[in-house]
Structure 1
Amino acid sequence: MEVQLTAPNGKTWTQPLGLFINNEFVPSSNGQKITTINPTTEEEICSVYAATAEDVDKAVAAARKAFKDPSWRKLSGTERGALLNKLADLIEQHQELIATIETLDNGKPYSAALNEDLADVISVFRYYAGFADKNFGQVIDAGPDKFAYTVKEPIGVCGQIIPWNYPMDMAAWKLGPALCCGNTVVLKLAEQTPLSMLYTAQLIKEAGFPPGVVNIINGHGREAGAALVQHPDVDKIAFTGSTATGKEVMKMAAGTMKNVTLETGGKSPLIIFDDADLDLAVKWSHIGIMSNQGQICTATSRILVHEKIYDQFLTKFKAQVQSISVLGDPFEPSTFQGPQVTKAQYERVLSYIRSGQEEGATIALGGEPAPQKGKGFFVAPTVFTNVKPHMKIFREEIFGPCVAVVAFSTEEEAIQLANDTTYGLGSAIFTRDLVRAHRVAREIEAGMVWINSSNDSDFRIPFGGVKQSGIGRELGEPALASYCNIKAIHVNMAT
């Protein structure tokens, strides 16, 4: 049920391979496994058990039993908060190893996994630990003849489905508020990147969470994911992934009228006005699209630049990309960009690059595979110019290190271009005119607007989109609303 592994940086560990149900690692019911691949070397790392519908039944049953068990249900918010803080402490103690596993399995630079992702994971759990005994109901003045109040109660068994681009982060974003509110969870991992959360499952048990409160399964979306979404004893589904899959999740969840939270795709605009601090705009434009290999739902993949500074920006931006976007071994400190997560994603990105060329866009930089010593799913950071709004590279989410740079002449045109999308997740504005910044921010159809930065999300601030970028919010206090039912209690005071 486990295997000894060694990463390229020399770290060794015992990797669990089983499904984590009732605080124990167990094999899948039919013994099926999924092999996970190192995207840097294209070599097999190990094979982990993959859940069947029968295994999903077992995990849901464990979560339902735990939800009703006094060992969890009767805990005070303060006690739940203590468990979350203990988990945060354990993750902090193991953070270097977990970051190593994340880099090996996902391909992201080790420095980013450790200093960005794991730092955020720890902060998220501590943040919701603090909220666990402060998620209050209210007393409502209904006149002298009635005493009315509300209480916030946990929803029940929550099915949570996370993506492969931020395995630890996305798990924390969902587990934190769900456990804070007293729910139990069946967490379905992305089959491409299961290793870091399976390792972390041991820490969940060590932190003292009762059996069945957190169950972690690996498996294919069409089998394990679909079984979880449609399960009649699951009360809520939280999903992060593509818009197309999100639509399927919503359809399947409708059969039992589940509470649904969806965080799906994006094609986020970044607008640079002619009075912007150009060096600042260049820095954040690069971060907004090239970090995490462009595999970010909020990636600002459409850069809209005022025509007066377009050429100047493009020159500076290309120089920034060439100097900073160092491709290579993700364990090397100098590496900014690792490989795409899988061969399928690598080929998808290359297909969009070909599409851009075929539709008449110009490749100003990159545009080709960038193998390291002949191995790995590396794609050179790619900059498109002469892009028209009808092109696929302007309209569709590529989820790779590819950006379209488009000129505009007026504020109205910039807003029109920014909103010309079915998505509405993130957006960014660069200008020294803060009146204009706030005015344009209100006009952008997106759940989040960054002013003079891009993609610097914060665990204290709500995260989510509009249009086809999702339903509901994660992070911040608003995330708690997704994991609570509000019960109104009426007391007749009249004689």
Structure 2
Amino acid sequence: MSRSTEEWRAAAAALEFDGRPVIGGARVDARSGETIEKTNPATGEVISRIHACDASDVDAAVAAARAAYASGAWSRAGAGFRRERLLEFARLIEQRADDFALYDSLDMGKPVRESSTIDAPGSAALYRFYAEAIEKREDLIPVTPPGSTALVTREPLGVIGVIVAWNYPLEIATWKLAPALAAGNTVVVKPPVEASHSTLLLAELAIEAGIPAGVLNVVTGRGSTVGRALGLHEDVDMLAFTGSTEVAKQLQQYAGQSNMKRLALEAGGKSANLVFADCDDLRLAAEKAAFGSFYNQGEVCSANSRIFVEREVYEEFLRLYAEAAQAYAPGDPLDPECGIGALVSEAHADTVWATIENARRDGTIYAGGSRPDIGGSRAFIEPTIVTDVPADHEVHTREIFGPVAVVTPFDTEDEAIARANETPFGLAASLWTGSLSRAHRVSSRLVAGTVSVNTVDALGFTTPFGGFKQSGFGRDLSVHALENYTDYKTTWMQWG
């Protein structure tokens, strides 16, 4: 049964906040003694103080993870043991789903309707997916000369560093942690300082689920301190990251400056959505385009924020798209009826608003373009549709990470493909057509890790997610994500 706004507010008022890191299975204070004030972006209210860890805390967490890995209590435990512990972990996440939902909503402003019905149960289901995958992997016995046998196994890498983005705090942590833990690794996580509480709760529930102490550690604090220390740490074997392309490039440098640690980087995006005149249902295309550009306040790495429409249906699409955008009107994130919530902070909203003002100056604001004051907060921005701006304008070229999309007409298929690929990113793309041959032809030429045909931003547990070009490398989701956290080991036995 869904809760009312008043019920969600009452649950939020009763929620406990603890901003201390979890190292070696216990809550500890940051050694610096410094804390960071954490506010709810939708209200401006201070809700917690996040402990600002430094390199010495990272050292302690990595040491705990290394000791846990070396003990074999998790890394050498049987597949059945890890499976049962992760299944229990999933059950506990479901049991605390409303708490997870509230933490993410209060931390980063997203509608609690989405965090409670999609993010929390989806994360529990993903732990369950990887738990079941543990016993279904197979090793190899390749052909070798007579008198010998070779075993090829996939082995865990060791201590994994994980750096989580703030737009989907629980889900993105889960995308990294579930396969890393399933493979037998131990982990040190740096959650986003903007939204740390759901990851901290994960670390507590891991102990309750029977996952040995030190297997999952969480070190809170700033990316410039904690993230840098993880990137440069000589005893971190692999680093998984979701965030900006700029930070991803820094992490590559850190890996080269330290121990050549493995990397899996899911970085920026600027996804295109191509709408052809032979689309079977233009209204559906417009409604899905609104979802693809405005859902989660547009704070989505794969947001379809560049929309190219065949000129024949351009005006009609714009009208339908503007109508569909009205379903994403901003409001109180604890109101189950709100369209979108607050952006992660007023400072981030300022940056998004500056982009809208530039677009107003250089082109046309077709719909939206306002910044309402809701509950005394200026972190809300109305979904905004931009037209008539030049191809090199920042709304075409820069990842805005807000509810802003640009719509542009095209005349030919080749032009649409060229415009879609005219970006340094390659995370996702969408196209709408009633022609099967066009669907195959265009999707094969789009440079993107996922191409959604007659839908937007499609993903699932069984399909890999990640990008090309400056959107990074490595894949989340599916059994292929296990490849990030393992590598092949050959054991050759000569017996004749």
Give your verdict on TM over 0.5.
Answer: yes
How far did 1:107 drift? 0.7
Aligned mates of 1:388, 1:120 — CA distance in 2 = 40
How far did 1:174 drift? 0.5
2:336 corresponding residue in structure 1: 333
SS of the residue 2:56 aligns to: helix
2:291 corresponding residue in structure 1: 287
Aligned mates of 2:338, 2:31 — CA distance in 1 = 41
1:42–1:376 CA contact under 8 A, matched in 2: no
Within-5 A mapping of 1:50-449: 50-255=52-257, 256-276=259-279, 277-322=281-326, 324-358=327-361, 360-449=362-451
From 460, 485, 489, give the equivalent of 1:483: 485
1:9–1:331 CA contact under 8 A, matched in 2: no
Partner letter of residue 462 of structure 1?
P
Aligned mates of 2:11, 2:155 — CA distance in 1 = 47
Q: Deviations over 1:196-240 (max 9, x none)?
A: 221232211100111100001111000011001100000000010
Aligned-residue RMSD, C-alpha = 1.3
SS of the residue 1:482 aligns to: helix
- Deviation >3 Å, runs of 4+: none
Structure 1 unaligned segments of length 5 or more: list them.
Answer: 1-5
TM-score (norm 2): 0.96
Q: Deviations over 1:449-475 (max 9, x none)?
A: 001111232122100000000111010
SS of the residue 1:144 aligns to: coil
How far did 1:121 drift? 0.4
2:266–2:473 CA contact under 8 A, matched in 1: yes
Partner letter of residue 285 of structure 1?
A
Aligned mates of 1:192, 1:345 — CA distance in 2 = 11
SS of the residue 1:404 aligns to: strand
2:463–2:477 CA contact under 8 A, matched in 1: yes
Q: Deviations over 1:114-137 (max 9, x none)?
A: 111112201110000011122322
Kindly, what percent of the aligned residue pairs are identical?
Answer: 38
SS of the residue 1:71 aligns to: coil
TM-score (norm 1): 0.96
1:85–1:126 CA contact under 8 A, matched in 2: yes
1:162–1:239 CA contact under 8 A, matched in 2: yes
1:3 corresponding residue in structure 2: none
Aligned mates of 2:161, 2:75 — CA distance in 1 = 18
Partner letter of residue 316 of structure 1?
L
Query: Structure 1 residues 9, 410: closer, same or farther in 2, change over 3 A?
Result: farther
Aligned mates of 2:72, 2:117 — CA distance in 1 = 38
SS of the residue 2:490 aligns to: strand
Aligned mates of 1:343, 1:390 — CA distance in 2 = 27
Structure 2 unaligned segments of length 5 or more: list them.
Answer: 1-6
1:155–1:485 CA contact under 8 A, matched in 2: yes
Aligned mates of 2:468, 2:345 — CA distance in 1 = 29
Aligned mates of 2:89, 2:336 — CA distance in 1 = 28
Aligned mates of 1:118, 1:456 — CA distance in 2 = 19
Q: Deviations over 1:321-366 (max 9, x none)?
A: 12x01211111121011110012211110121122234x2211112
Which range moved further: 207-216 or 137-146? 137-146
Aligned residues: 487
Partner letter of residue 303 of structure 1?
I
Aligned mates of 2:387, 2:206 — CA distance in 1 = 48
